[in-house]
Amino acid sequence: MNRLSLNQITTKHWTLPQAVQGCVNAGIPAIGLWRDKVAETGLAESARLVRDAGLTVSSLCRGGFLTATGAGSRQAALAENLRALEEAAELGTDTLVMVVGGLPDGSRDLTGTRARVAELLAELAPHAGDFGVRLAIEPLHPMFCADRAVVSTLAQALDLAEQFPTEQVGVVVDSYHTWWDPQLAQQIARAADRIAAYQVCDWTLPLPPDTLLGRGHVGDGHIDFRTLTHHVTAAGYTGWIEVEIFNEQIWNTPGDQTLRTMIERHHTHVVAP
């Protein structure tokens, strides 16, 4: 339990105060926050609530979306990410999860789009350093390459991150997005202290009509969490294990019940010896 964190998207229908109270009730010591939920409650009030509850904020979701073309869109993306960094700092987390964005509308220029991500990261990284927050690049599953994230593998995320100081840019290891990767073990070892977050949920089939929402509780699908956690731990990561699940059915389950399942699966599948 001492490394377990609730990513609040897992209890999507809870407000931030409800999610904080849910963690306290369940004995979960950390929470990953989402910017829309923080905005709903107010930044200062959100920061106060988690602090007073004694919770650690394991991460803030999310920055990114760096792939639009044109000077105006680029400036807007930078400004938005600076706000996200500022919010992360105020909430007391050292990790801003970055979903980099997909191909711009009508574009087939994957190479150019990926290059643009690198350029904008270069502008953002020093600011992250100033805020004491790390940009955590999240490779998304290749099925989201066109529409959500042109960063598709851990190797690619590391190629980007390694252009910057470790304290400014890291990577997210998310089980759902990376479990299939033949290079996963070696890239996790390579990542070492670049690992800024470890997020878990399971690959379940069939995928639902909205493929974003196909993720299952740890243990309900095809991923070997014991081995994955072993690799992450062997790489030196001792941080939070954040449960992040996008799933309509789980969202419609009472939050307290979801947290009980999370805790049970954490023990039986993630940290079991």
**Strands 169-174, 195-200: parallel, antiparallel or unpaired by DSSP?**
parallel
Taking CB under 8 A as the criterion, the residue among 118, 155, 213, 271 binding a copy of itself is 155
CA–CA gap between residue 57 and residue 23 (Å, rounded):
12
- Residue 35 in contact with a copy of itself, rule: CB under 8 A: no
Q: Which stretch binds a copy of itself (CB under 8 A): 191-199, 206-214, 233-241, 256-264?
A: 206-214
Taking CB under 8 A as the criterion, the residue among 122, 207, 234, 272 binding a copy of itself is 207
Q: Residue count at the site for a copy of itself (CB under 8 A)?
A: 34
- Residue 141 in contact with a copy of itself, rule: CB under 8 A: yes
- 197-228 core/surface letters (b: 16 or more CB in 10 A; e: else): bbbbbbbbeeeeeeeeebbbbbebbebebeeb
CA–CA gap between residue 106 and residue 174 (Å, rounded):
29
Tokens representing 226 are: 């014991």
Nearer to a copy of itself, 134 or 148 (CB): 148
Taking CB under 8 A as the criterion, the residue among 72, 206, 238, 273 binding a copy of itself is 206
For residue 109, give the amino acid letter. Answer: D
Q: Which stretch binds a copy of itself (CB under 8 A): 30-38, 39-47, 80-88, 154-162?
A: 154-162
Nearer to a copy of itself, 133 or 171 (CB): 171
Q: Which stretch binds a copy of itself (CB under 8 A): 55-63, 86-94, 152-160, 190-198?
A: 152-160
Q: Which residues, numbered 38-67, are part of the site for a copy of itself (CB under 8 A)?
A: none
- Residue 211 in contact with a copy of itself, rule: CB under 8 A: yes
CA–CA gap between residue 200 and residue 268 (Å, rounded):
14
- Residue 105 in contact with a copy of itself, rule: CB under 8 A: no
Length of the chain: 273
Q: SS in 3 state form for 219-267?
A: CCCCCCHHHHHHHHHHCCCCCCEEECCCCHHHHCCCHHHHHHHHHHHHH
CB 161 within 8 A of CB 194: yes
Nearer to a copy of itself, 147 or 264 (CB): 147
CA–CA gap between residue 216 and residue 199 (Å, rounded):
13
Give the binding site for a copy of itself (CB under 8 A).
Answer: 103, 108-111, 114, 141-143, 145-147, 152-153, 155-156, 159, 179-183, 203, 205-207, 209-211, 221-224, 227
